[in-house]
Amino acid sequence: MCRMHKEQMPRENEAKKEEVATMIHRIDATVLFVRDLARCLTFYRDTLGLQVKNSDPDSVAFQMENQYLLLLEISAAADLIRSEANALKIEGGPRVLLAAGVEDVDAAYEELKAKGVTFLRPPTDQPWGLRTAYFADPEGNLWEINSPSDPRQRGR
């Protein structure tokens, strides 16, 4: 391949990438299907300290900066998507992990542990540059809390 073609190829590939329209630009909300809404509300509001934005008998919404976290009772979820509640398979192992950035993983870990949260893994430095810790909510939904491994990078 001649030098001219090599130099033009990246430009052509860049142009092709720009032509492709992305249909989904962001995630606005994460919805967790739960069996015990009251218990999960208590955990997310009182243990994690999330502020309730609104609620009704079947759901609770928390606003977190650029996104909502919603707890939706499983039968209401079934009604929402026109399905039978038992057709929504939430049995078995976790199917999602929610990762949340915090100022200081070690401090958040100690604070949540003091509130009774059981961690699956304590704060650990990861090879990709984050310090992470893992826990589950009362219904087994997995959470990661993280901050940069390098303390100088925290809060940026």
Element (H, E) at 11: helix 3-19
DSSP bridge pairs for 131: 125, 147
Query: What pLDDT, on the 0 to 100 scale, is given for residue 4?
Result: 44
Query: What pLDDT, on the 0 to 100 scale, is given for residue 87?
Result: 57
Separation between Cα atoms, residue 30 and residue 17, nearest integer Å: 28
pTM: 0.68
Query: pLDDT digit string (tens) for 4-30?
Result: 444 555 555 555 556 667 756 777 889
* Residue 119: closest CA among 92, 111, 128: 111
Q: Is the pLDDT of residue 145 over 70?
A: yes
Query: What pLDDT, on the 0 to 100 scale, is given for residue 95?
Result: 64
Q: Is the pLDDT of residue 2 over 60?
A: no
Separation between Cα atoms, residue 67 and residue 61, nearest integer Å: 10
Question: Domain residue spans in the chain?
Answer: 26-88, 95-156
Separation between Cα atoms, residue 31 and residue 91, nearest integer Å: 16
Query: What pLDDT, on the 0 to 100 scale, is given for residue 15?
Result: 52
Note whether 26-88 and 95-156 share their fold. Answer: yes
Query: pLDDT digit string (tens) for 59-116?
Result: 999 998 889 999 999 888 877 666 565 555 666 666 678 989 999 999 999 999 999 9
CATH number of 26-88: 3.10.180.10
Q: Give percent helix, percent strand, percent coil of the chain, each to the nearest 5.
A: 35, 30, 35
pLDDT category at 119 given cuts 50, 70, 90 is very high
Q: Which CATH architecture has domain 95-156?
A: Roll (3.10)
Q: Is the pLDDT of residue 33 over 50?
A: yes
Query: What pLDDT, on the 0 to 100 scale, is given for residue 84?
Result: 61
Separation between Cα atoms, residue 70 and residue 136, nearest integer Å: 16
Mean pLDDT lowest among 29-38, 78-87, 119-128, 141-150: 78-87
Buried b (16+ CB within 10 A) or exposed e, 41-64: bebbbebbebeeeeeeeebbbbee
Q: Average pLDDT, stretch 128-152?
A: 90
